[in-house]
Amino acid sequence: MTTKPNWRGMTRRQLIARSFAAGTTLIVGAGFVAAPNAAWAYEAAALKPETLATLIRMARDIYPHDHIGDAFYVTAVKGYDTAETAAEIEAGIAALNAAAQGAGHASYLDAAWEDDRVALLRGMEKSAFFQKIRGGLVTGLYNQKELWPLFGYEGESFSQGGYIDRGFDDIDWL
């Protein structure tokens, strides 16, 4: 479930040079989406890069954790970047962009305030598309083992002998 985003070994300058459309937080290039600091880049397989960038933004707006990098959200949604699912995702994101335009934004990504984007999502909360993306994120995001330590969760413990000698009762502030 947790393959590392596709790092292409590009510098920030190279990334920006290749890009043709920059959202507020992601760099969208010909066939790829990348972090502005070049921490990661992901090559789109079946989805349009703009669609993928919007999907990543949508994922973060659904489950925003400011201390969690985009790479985790990319991992959570990249399963939709396949020939089988592309049409459905393109349609769903198109509907999201249409809703954004109805609210006076150029696109979903163009709505700069999270509150504005969340209002758009609330408006489509009951849709099958939204529910599919949200439901998928519950495991797609939170079941990434690399993410657990960022929430303090320690995961597997048997191999370390459990917590009998590792603080099962170490609470000291009560």
Partner 1 sequence: MVAKFDLNDDSVVLIIGTGAGGGVLANELAQKGVKVVALEAGGRYLPEDYINDEWDAFGQLSWLDARTTSGDWRVAQDFSGLPAWIVKAVGGTTIHWAGASLRFRPHEWKARTTYGHVAGANLLDWPIDAEEMAPWYEKAEAKLGVTRTGNFPGLPGNNNYKVLEKGALALGYKEVSTGRMAINSVENDDRPACQQTGFCFQGCKWGAKWSAAYTDIPKGEATGNLEVRSNAQVLRIEHDEKGRVTGALYADKEGNQHFQKARVVCVAGNSIESPRLLLNSASEMFPDGLANSSGQVGRNYMRHVTGSVYGVFEKPVRMWRGTTMAGIVQDEARFDPSRGFVGGYELETLSLGLPFMAAFLDPGGWGRGFTSAMDDYERMAGMWIVGEDMPQETNRITLSSTVKDQYGLPAPNVHFDDHPNDIAMRSHAYRQGEAIYRAAGATRTFPTPPYPSTHNLGTNRMSEHARDGVVNRHGQTHDIANLFISDGSQFTTGAAENPTLTIVALAIRQADHIAAELSRQNL
Selection from 95, 43, 70 nearest residue 87 by Cα: 95
Query: What strands, in cross-sheet order, belong to the sheet with 32-34?
Result: 19-22, 27-29, 32-34, 41-43
Least Cβ distance, residue 97 to partner 1 (angstroms): 20
Least Cβ distance, residue 42 to partner 1 (angstroms): 23
Q: What are phi and psi of 125, to 5 degrees?
A: -60, -35
- Residue with Cβ nearer partner 1 (84 or 115): 115
Contact footprint for partner 1 (CB under 8 A): 61-65, 67, 118, 134, 138-139, 141-143, 148, 151-159, 161-164, 166-171, 173-174
User: 92: helix, coil or strand?
Assistant: helix
Least Cβ distance, residue 16 to partner 1 (angstroms): 30
- Residue with Cβ nearer partner 1 (83 or 171): 171
